[in-house]
Amino acid sequence: MALKYHATLTPQRWQSFGFTRQVLMIANELNRAGAWLEKSDVEEAKRSYERAMELTYLTIGLQKDEGRLRELARFKEALAGLYIDESPDVRDNALLLRVLIMLDGASFASLDHS
């Protein structure tokens, strides 16, 4: 798969980050998308979704754990749904971000649970 936004990122380098960091980097793109949606800039939000999708595909390609793979595939489908939506909702974006973070215990522990 040729990467558009992360052209210099190899699967080997991505794997070296570890799953927690991978999740947080994907989450960063969703966070950016949410910020763009709050500014009503759907095109920039979609670019953030494209970057998140690239990183998600890399993460899926490296998975050995079937349960994690299944959950990442579900996440990818929901992300694709936001991407194709003509006017994605910032609340749906926030929900998907939370779902992603919950895929990794260390990432989830970093959330403010108040």
Q: What is the predicted pLDDT for the residue at 74?
A: 97
Predicted confidence (pLDDT) at residue 95 exceeds the cutoff of 90: yes
Could you read off the pLDDT of 39-60 as tens digits, one per residue? 999 999 999 999 999 999 999 9
- In percent, how much of the chain has pLDDT > 90? 78
In a domain, 80, yes or no: yes
Q: What is the distance between the alpha carbons of residues 64 and 110, in angstroms, rounded to a whole number?
A: 25
- Mean pLDDT over all residues of the chain? 92
Confidence at residue 1, expressed as pLDDT on a 0 to 100 scale: 62
12 assigned to some structural domain: no
Return left, alpha or beta for 40; rule: phi > 0 is left, psi -120 to 50 is alpha, else beta.
left
100 is in which domain, residue-wise? 18-107
Residue with tokens 């929901």: 78
**Residue 3 located in a structural domain:** no
pTM: 0.89
Q: Is residue 101 part of a domain?
A: yes
Are the C-beta atoms of 22 and 14 separated by less than 8 Å? Answer: yes
Question: How many domains is the chain partitioned into structurally?
Answer: 1
